[in-house]
Amino acid sequence: MEPSLSRRERKKLATRQCLMQAALQLFSEHGYDATTVEEIAEAADVAKSTFFNYFETKEAIVPALMEWRLTHLEDTISATSTAPVSSVERIKRLLHLVIDDPLANPALARQLFMVQRGQQNMQPIFALTALISEQVRQAQQAGEIRDDVNPTDIGSIIRAVFLHQVVNWHCGDKQLPLSATIDRMIDILMEGIAGPNWRPSP
- What is d(CA 96, CA 90) in angstroms, rounded to the nearest whole number? 10
Could you tell me if 154 and 133 are in contact, meaning their C-beta atoms sit under 8 angstroms apart?
Answer: yes
- What is d(CA 26, CA 171) in angstroms, rounded to the nearest whole number? 25
Could you tell me if 111 and 120 are in contact, meaning their C-beta atoms sit under 8 angstroms apart?
Answer: no
Q: How many residues does the chain have?
A: 202
pLDDT greater than 70 at residue 2: no
What is the pTM for the complete model shown? 0.78
Q: What angle do CA 7, 9, 13 make, to 5 degrees?
A: 115
CA 62 to the chain's CA centroid:
12
Residue partners of 88: CB distance under 8 A and separation at least 6: 135, 139, 144, 145, 186, 190, 198
- Closest among 104, 141, 111 to 34, alpha carbons compared: 111
What percentage of the chain reaches a pLDDT higher than 90?
Answer: 40
pLDDT tens digits for range 140-164: 999 999 999 999 999 999 999 988 8
- What is d(CA 123, CA 131) in angstroms, rounded to the nearest whole number? 12
Gyration radius of the chain over CA positions: 19
Give the pLDDT mean for 44-52.
95
pLDDT tens digits for range 59-107: 889 888 888 888 888 888 876 666 678 889 989 999 998 888 888 777 7
In the Cβ-directed half-sphere of 138, how many Cα atoms lie within 13 Å? Answer: 16
